[in-house]
Amino acid sequence: MKGAVLVAAGLASLAAAQQTAYGQCGGQGWTGPTVCVSGYTCTFSNDVYSQCLPGAAAATTKTSSTKTTKTTTSKTTTSKTTKSSTTKPTTTKTSTTKTSSKTTTTQPPPTTLTTVTTTTSPSAPPPSGSFTLEGYARNNPSGTVTGGTGGSTTTVSSYAAFTSAVKGNNAKVVYVSGIITLTSKVKIGSNTSLLGLGSNSGVTGKGLSLSSVENIIIRNMKISEVKGDDLITLSESTRVWIDHNELFSGGLTNGPDYYDGQIDITHASDYITVSWNYFHDHWKSSLVGNSDSNRAEDLGHLHITYHHNYWRNMGTRGPAGRFGHQHVYNNLYEDYRYQAIHSRSDNQVLVEGNVFRGDTREALSTYGLVIPEDSPNTCTCGDQELNGYANLGAANDWGTASVNITRVGSFTAAEYSYNLTPLASVEAVVKAGAGVGKVAV
Ligand SMILES: *[C@@H]1O[C@H](CO)[C@@H](O)[C@H](O)[C@H]1NC(C)=O
Ligand SMILES: *[C@@H]1O[C@H](CO)[C@@H](O)[C@H](O)[C@H]1NC(C)=O
């Protein structure tokens, strides 16, 4: 199948201003230059973002899918160039009309992993240039995450006060002052905002559990040093925003299982945004779907947005997904030793605008092998699972890391509006903006 090349009208009249390399050159609401400097072509990434990329067409491993065709709003200034097709087998295309006024052409397989079909609330794009919520925790069928907004407020600085403040499902804002040592894992109730004060507040020793709860914000918290367990575990939980935290441990010297995950998201949890966190010195970051035998429960759930996170000196799982659906954009990976993004067991990832630096072996893989460095269970050679799927959106900078896409999926565009940082700015923007002490809570 041949990729369509669409050149919008109106370029001649806008010839004056030329966008610099890697700059934005189109997208919904864009009023800046729509042509690029010599040697760069304005390349369609998604509905809200086109970018000046080198040469005539950007990606090499881009899918052959036809990009979203908009039924509404101004597209006239965007120069659209879908990427050249690869040699995919011809497949029957199904057209799905979404309630968010998009007509999207998707391609099988798999038909069972559908995207969110009702992303009506809220419909306006998130404001740009601020640290506001975007992604699945904002746009989902059950409503934007609000946490404890409007509820009671408490400030806590002891284990006892902390555990009692976060209990229950009434709306509540819990401010944490200083680092609290937890003596057991603490369950967070629904409708809670858990906010660290200043730049040195949070919990250590034991982790946080979000189990069968909804509508939670965890922000500006330092969370560290949980031996043999996760820093944050989500199970059967929906609508969670984990933003501007710092998650870390003592490094990689004790192997993958001395600590467990940083943010593990399991048992059909859904509509989660993990943004602007600083993850460092820890082996396993974020597991999505905890077992390849949990297909029936997890399939069609686990919609998670990971954006503008800074991962440094890590081992695996940035993230590693099974059966779900993750949009991974504008993250910075530095010394991500073994494997960063892993999509397996029919999981789908949309990967765009990420930067990989340093000693990073593999940036992205959909090969089903759970590598030996990731604590396999059945064989020292690794555990074999079904492959996953990956789609590439706006160009990534893989650095020296490898990419192994064994199956291209149907997740060709996010179902919501979001602010994509130009690739050339990602490293600086993420280093400056991720972690604690960057937002006023
Ligand atoms: C969270 O708060 C909303 C609004 O008050 C309420 O409808 C919902 O039931 C609460 N969630 C839980 C799990 O109690
Ligand atoms: C990439 O995936 C293929 C399966 O399609 C596998 O044979 C190969 O070993 C993988 N490469 C790496 C480096 O894992």
Provide the residue-wise pLDDT of the chain in tens; the chain has 441 residues: 333 333 333 333 334 688 776 666 777 666 788 998 888 888 776 555 676 677 765 333 333 333 333 333 333 333 333 333 333 333 333 333 232 322 222 222 222 222 333 333 445 777 766 799 999 999 999 999 999 999 999 999 999 999 999 999 999 999 999 999 999 999 999 999 999 999 999 999 999 999 999 999 999 999 999 999 999 999 999 999 999 999 999 999 999 999 999 999 999 999 999 999 999 999 999 999 999 999 999 999 999 999 999 999 999 999 999 999 999 999 999 999 999 999 999 999 999 999 999 999 999 999 999 999 998 888 999 999 999 999 999 999 999 999 999 999 999 999 999 999 999 999 999 999 999 999 988
User: Among all ligands shown, which has an atom nearest to the Cα of 213?
Assistant: 1
Question: Which atom, in ligand 2's list, is nearest to the CA of 367?
Answer: 2
312 classed as catalytic: no
Q: What's the predicted TM-score (pTM) here?
A: 0.76
Residues 6+ apart with CB under 8 A from 38: none
In this prediction, residue 204 carries a pLDDT of 98
CB of residue 404 inside a 6 A radius of ligand 2: yes
Question: Which atom, in ligand 2's list, is nearest to the CA of 366?
Answer: 2
In this prediction, residue 376 carries a pLDDT of 86
The answer to whether the Cα torsion of 13, 15, 17, 19 is positive or negative is positive
Protein residues with CB under 6 Å of any ligand 1 atom: 169, 190-191, 214-215
User: Among all ligands shown, which has an atom nearest to the Cα of 146?
Assistant: 1
What are the Cα distances from residue 200, in Å, to 208, 216, 224, 364?
18, 21, 12, 33
In this prediction, residue 17 carries a pLDDT of 84
Q: Give which of 436, 425, 419, 435 is closest to 135, Cα–Cα.
A: 419
CB 61 within 8 A of CB 86: yes
Choose one of 167, 215, 236 to mutate for the ligand 1 pocket test, by most ligand atoms within 8 angstroms of C-beta.
Answer: 215
CB of residue 406 inside a 6 A radius of ligand 2: yes
In this prediction, residue 125 carries a pLDDT of 72
In this prediction, residue 161 carries a pLDDT of 98
CB of residue 162 inside a 6 A radius of ligand 2: no
Active-site entry in 138, 219, 317, 322: 317
Element (DSSP H or E) covering residue 427: helix 423-433
The answer to whether the Cα torsion of 65, 67, 68, 69 is positive or negative is negative
Q: Ligand 1 centroid to 290 CA: how many Å?
A: 27
Element (DSSP H or E) covering residue 336: strand 332-336
User: Among all ligands shown, which has an atom nearest to the Cα of 172?
Assistant: 1
Choose one of 316, 367, 387, 407 to mutate for the ligand 2 pocket test, by most ligand atoms within 8 angstroms of C-beta.
Answer: 367
The residue whose C-alpha atom lies closest to atom 9 belonging to ligand 1 is: 169
Q: Give which of 112, 140, 117 is closest to 389, Cα–Cα.
A: 112
Question: Which atom, in ligand 2's list, is nearest to the CA of 406?
Answer: 5
Element (DSSP H or E) covering residue 97: strand 94-98
Question: Which atom, in ligand 1's list, is nearest to the CA of 215?
Answer: 1
